[in-house]
A and B are shown apart, each in its own frame.
Chain A
């Protein structure tokens, strides 16, 4: 009897402690992506900012030429447009057979910025006007807002970066959906602080 009472109290105390920890990390903006503020989410406690890619057909089909960008970076209508125009994909032919194309299109749309509530995806989605169908992540207002302070010499004129589309040149863990400032090391330059 006494033993079970002790265990119940310990359990309750444990839950209270856990709740306190959760509130604490939310205030620091840690792991609770959606609830924390954007700035807070950039703290060293945050990890993935958009859900990591977890669909091998997408990585296989698209990741050979460029980072398999997380679907949470563009709205579903953008992914649909991109998948419908693969034979002229920013100047490359990236066409796929119909079966592969259809399953990848579905994966991208289902996990798009306007379909997932995770991390920064909703902020990406909100920044795009309803009538706009951006084909480049770099054309979304949220992306621009986050990168507008970067001078040309660090990106376009930097032979180790060359383009904003080359995420991993600076966001070392971009392939896992981590884009926080803490992980940024600009190739040939180093850390970047706003």
Chain B
């Protein structure tokens, strides 16, 4: 390996964790601009487990993602594995802002029957980041 590729690899290795954290941080900054915050990991954790009766069944985040976001989950109907959401266990989980917003939109409505507020989304991100 040349010195140049070595330093490029080290540079990339240093940049990666930054890139991973960047998306949730940027999202929280956006939520603050909408009037939300400060964000509370404990509130995020309890919302994660909170069951809500939607369409005749009790649903929570943990229905599909499991009670520990550092572990993989399982789609309740198709059985397909869902990769862990905690960045500490899966650096790709929250890496793409558009993807995270897509899943917030889909899953808040499926789970709670409504969209999540900026405050709730910020709390979830805070919880997942500190795991």
Residues of A in contact with B (beta carbons under 8 Å apart): 60-61, 64-66, 87, 90-97, 100, 162-163, 165-166
Q: Is the CB of B80 within 8 A of A93?
A: no
Assess whether B109 is interfacial by the CB under 8 Å rule.
Answer: yes
Cβ distance A85 to chain B, nearest Cβ, rounded Å: 14
Which chain A residues border B99 with CB–CB below 8 Å?
Answer: 60
Q: How many residues of B contact A (CB 8 A)?
A: 14
Q: Per a CB cutoff under 8 Å, which of A91, A93, A96, A162 touches B107?
A: A93
Q: Is the CB of A166 within 8 A of B78?
A: yes
Instruction: Give complex CA distance A107, B58 in Å.
Output: 36
Q: Is the CB of B102 within 8 A of A93?
A: no
Assess whether B8 is interfacial by the CB under 8 Å rule.
Answer: no
Q: C-beta contact mask, B116-127 vs A, less than 8 Å → 1, else 0?
A: 000000000000
Which B residue's beta carbon lies closest to that of A63? B80
List 7 tightest A-B contacts by C-beta distance, closest first. A93-B110, A93-B106, A66-B78, A93-B109, A65-B75, A65-B78, A162-B79
Q: Is the CB of A163 within 8 A of B78?
A: yes
Cβ distance B81 to chain A, nearest Cβ, rounded Å: 10
Q: Is the CB of B80 within 8 A of A65?
A: yes
Which chain B residues border A93 with CB–CB below 8 Å?
Answer: 105-107, 109-110
Instruction: Give complex CA distance A91, B102 in Å.
Output: 17
Which chain B residues border A166 with CB–CB below 8 Å?
Answer: 78-79
Interface residues of B in 76-123 (CB under 8 A from A): 77-80, 82, 99, 102, 105-107, 109-110
Cβ distance B105 to chain A, nearest Cβ, rounded Å: 6
Which A residue's beta carbon lies closest to that of B98? A97
- Assuming the contacts A65-B75, A97-B102, asked whether A92 and B80 have C-beta atoms less than 8 A apart, the reply is no
Cβ distance A37 to chain B, nearest Cβ, rounded Å: 33
Q: C-beta contact mask, B36-78 vs A, less than 8 Å → 1, else 0?
A: 0000000000000000000100000000000000000001011
Which B residue's beta carbon lies closest to that of A90? B77
Which A residue's beta carbon lies closest to that of B113? A93
Instruction: Give complex CA distance A95, B107 in Å.
Output: 10
Cβ distance A153 to chain B, nearest Cβ, rounded Å: 17
Query: Given A95-B109, A166-B78, 9 more contacts at CB 8 Å?
Result: A61-B102, A66-B75, A66-B78, A92-B110, A93-B109, A100-B102, A163-B78, A165-B78, A166-B79
